[in-house]
């Protein structure tokens, strides 16, 4: 095992890493745990977070090592034996990227946990379901999910301004004071419109002109490489999957009729449900179920959205602003409130009156500045999330403020 070459490669990577800007999840991770998993869509900064931790804590030692399992050299080795030898040479923490590219990776991670004192941080696609991969591993590893940039993170990443995040309750109760302070420093509406098109992924810093092209390339990699590999989808089905995605992207918010989708895409009805689940796990779409249908996993989604508005702008040139507003709200609420400890993703549902029910308590109607309370006037704890206003009033809250939840 040529560790020297791997450390030289790591040094080159660390030289490019900056520590001044970190994703929201960095401070939430308990890096001292023995086994940590970081899942997320491509391009969100999982690798950068791992390298930042090494640079911040192990820059003067060789006690931490980063490896990527899509490296042909690593593919040729036993991951367990590699970790064992690294520990014998003084290794304390092994950072393993792209685990889903390595056959039986979960067994190797489990064996490292059981047989060695070495700590392991691994990352992989959001498509991975650790409990299904290996139930023994799910009891040993704490899993974190990295989501796309919030509006607040986008402002910080682009050096516009650095703000604190706020809880949902903070925003609902104190939005007037919070918005007043924020608008002393920036014009949020100008930046919000830019965020809806270009703000979800950190690679906006690389080149704005090719940004949407990179999103399309990322989605193609997910559909053509990650999904078939992880879920054993026949490659011949990828064309149908792309057809399904385009159908959804050009009709969002999509109120699904499974029979019509099956006919339009030439996919069987049972497979439509499977493919919608795959696309949601891949963080390409968001589904919303009705509260009345409870936790029936096979229940038809009430609405389907692109996972974030940037994906919509990348895939199609015709964007409905009303759909974009709703997709943004669902994205930020889901990203901020989703917890790995919950059995179901049950923080936001379609509402009987209004658009969305959050935490079984708050009803929201999303719209433009002329939207009124007529649809939710008799509903307790109801709020308007309104676009094109800088500062709200009473239960009328600027839509952009929900981008400050994380």
Q: What is the pLDDT of residues 314-333, one digit of tens each?
A: 999 888 999 999 999 999 99
Q: How many CA atoms lie within 13 A of 165 on its CB side?
A: 21
Confidence tier at 235 by pLDDT (50, 70, 90): confident
Does residue 110 surpass a pLDDT of 70? yes
At residue 108, does pLDDT exceed 80? yes
Residue pointed to by tokens 């923490």: 93
Helices in 187-339 by DSSP H: which ranges? 188-198, 211-221, 227-231, 238-249, 258-265, 269-281, 309-315, 321-337
Q: Domains of the chain by range and CATH?
A: 3-146 (3.40.50.300), 152-404 (no CATH)
pLDDT at residue number 301: 85
Place of tokens 């090592």: 65
Across 68-83, average pLDDT: 94
Identify the band that residue 293 occupies on the pLDDT scale cut at 50, 70 and 90.
low
Tell me the sheet residues that pair with 360. none
Q: Over 70: is that where the pLDDT of 295 sits?
A: no
Please tell me the predicted confidence (pLDDT) of residue 292.
67
Which of 16, 67, 15 has the alpha carbon at shortest distance from 205?
Answer: 16
| pLDDT, mean of residues 105-123 | 96
Structure token pair of residue 329: 């709200």
Phi and psi torsions of 365, nearest 5°: -115, 130
Pick from 70-79, 195-204, 232-241, 294-303: least confident: 294-303
What's the average model confidence in pLDDT over 356-365? Answer: 96
| Per-residue confidence band for 136, with pLDDT thresholds at 50, 70 and 90 | confident
From CA 308, how far away is CA 153, in angstroms rounded? Answer: 15
Q: How far apart are CA 372 and CA 76, in angstroms?
A: 62
Given pLDDT bands bounded at 50, 70 and 90, which one contains residue 130? Answer: low
Dist CA 350 CA 301 (whole Å): 9
Q: What is the pTM of this model?
A: 0.92
pLDDT for residue 131 is more than 60: no
pLDDT of residue 397: 98
Three-state DSSP class for residue 370: coil
Q: For residue 255, name the pLDDT band (cuts at 50, 70, 90).
A: confident
d(CA 369, CA 365): 12
Residues 363, 381: contact at Cβ < 8 Å?
A: yes
Average pLDDT of the residues in 176-180: 98
Q: What is the pLDDT averaged over residues 6-29?
A: 96
8 Å CB contact between 262 and 268? yes
Q: What percent of the chain has pLDDT over 90?
A: 76
pLDDT greater than 50 at residue 98: yes
Structure confidence at residue 232 as a pLDDT band (50, 70, 90): confident
Q: Across residues 285-303, what is the average pLDDT? A: 75
**Short-list 332, 324, 389, 348, CA closest to 24:** 332
**What value does the mean pLDDT take over residues 17-25?**
96
Say if residue 289's pLDDT is above 90: no
Cα–Cα distance for residue pair 228/173, rounded to 1 Å: 46
CA distance 286 to 169: 23
- The fraction of the chain above a pLDDT of 70, given in percent, is 94
Query: Two tokens at 89?
Result: 């040479």
Mean pLDDT value of segment 32-39 = 96
pLDDT of residue 343: 46
- Mean pLDDT, to the nearest integer, of 339-359? 78
Distance CA 372, CA 395 (A): 11
pLDDT tier, 92 (very low <50, low <70, confident <90, very high otherwise): very high
Query: What are 198's two structure tokens?
Result: 């270009």
Can you give the length of the chain in residues? 406
Whole-number pLDDT of residue 290: 83
Residue bearing the bigger pLDDT, 104 or 57: 57
pLDDT over 80 (residue 395): yes
**Is the bond preceding 368 in cis, omega lying within 30 degrees of 0?**
no
Mean pLDDT of 257-264: 90
Buried b vs exposed e over 225-234: b needs ≥16 C-beta within 10 Å?
A: ebbbebbebe
Residue of 351, 350, 330, 349 lying closest to 405 (CA atoms): 330
Separation between Cα atoms, residue 198 and residue 361, nearest integer Å:
32
Instruction: Quote the CA–CA distance of 56 and 37 in Å, as a whole number.
Output: 19
| Nearest CA among 331, 262, 274, 268 for reference residue 298 | 274
């Amino acid at each position: 095992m040529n560790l020297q070459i791997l450390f030289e490669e790591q040094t080159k990577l660390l030289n490019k890493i900056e520590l001044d800007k970190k994703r929201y999840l960095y401070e939430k991770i308990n890096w001292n745990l023995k086994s940590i998993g970081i899942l997320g869509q491509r391009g969100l900064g999982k690798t950068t977070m791992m390298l930042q931790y090494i640079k911040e804590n192990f820059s003067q030692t060789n006690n931490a090592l980063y490896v990527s399992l899509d490296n042909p050299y690593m593919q040729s080795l036993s991951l367990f034996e590699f970790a064992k030898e690294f520990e014998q040479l003084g290794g304390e923490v092994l950072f393993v990227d792209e685990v889903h590219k390595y056959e039986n990776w979960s067994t190797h991670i489990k064996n490292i946990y059981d047989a060695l004192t070495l700590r392991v941080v691994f990352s992989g696609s959001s498509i991975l379901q650790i409990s299904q991969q290996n139930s023994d591993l799910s009891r040993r590893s704490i899993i974190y999910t990295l989501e796309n940039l919030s509006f607040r993170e986008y402002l910080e990443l682009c050096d516009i301004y650095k703000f604190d995040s706020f809880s949902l309750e903070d925003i609902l109760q104190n939005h007037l004071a919070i918005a007043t302070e924020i608008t002393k420093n920036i014009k949020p509406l100008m930046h919000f419109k830019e965020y809806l098109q270009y703000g979800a992924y950190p690679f906006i810093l690389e080149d704005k002109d090719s940004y949407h092209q990179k999103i399309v390339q990322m989605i193609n990699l997910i559909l053509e490489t990650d999904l078939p590999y992880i879920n054993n989808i026949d490659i011949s089905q990828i064309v149908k999957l792309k057809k399904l995605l385009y159908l959804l992207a050009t009709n969002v918010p999509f109120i699904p009729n499974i029979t019509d989708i099956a006919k339009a895409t030439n996919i069987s009805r049972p497979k439509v449900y499977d493919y919608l689940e795959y696309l949601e796990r891949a963080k390409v779409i968001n589904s919303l179920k009705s509260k009345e249908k409870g936790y029936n996993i096979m229940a038809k989604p009430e609405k389907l959205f692109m996972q974030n508005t940037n994906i919509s702008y990348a895939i199609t040139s015709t964007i409905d602003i009303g759909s974009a507003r709703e997709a943004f709200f669902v994205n930020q609420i889901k990203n901020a409130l989703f917890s790995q400890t919950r059995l179901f993703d049950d923080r936001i549902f379609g509402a009987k009156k209004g658009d969305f029910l959050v935490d079984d308590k708050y009803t929201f109607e999303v719209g433009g500045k002329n939207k009124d309370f007529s649809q939710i006037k008799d509903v307790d704890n109801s709020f308007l999330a309104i676009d094109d206003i800088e500062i709200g009033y009473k239960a009328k809250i600027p839509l952009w403020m929900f981008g400050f939840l994380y």
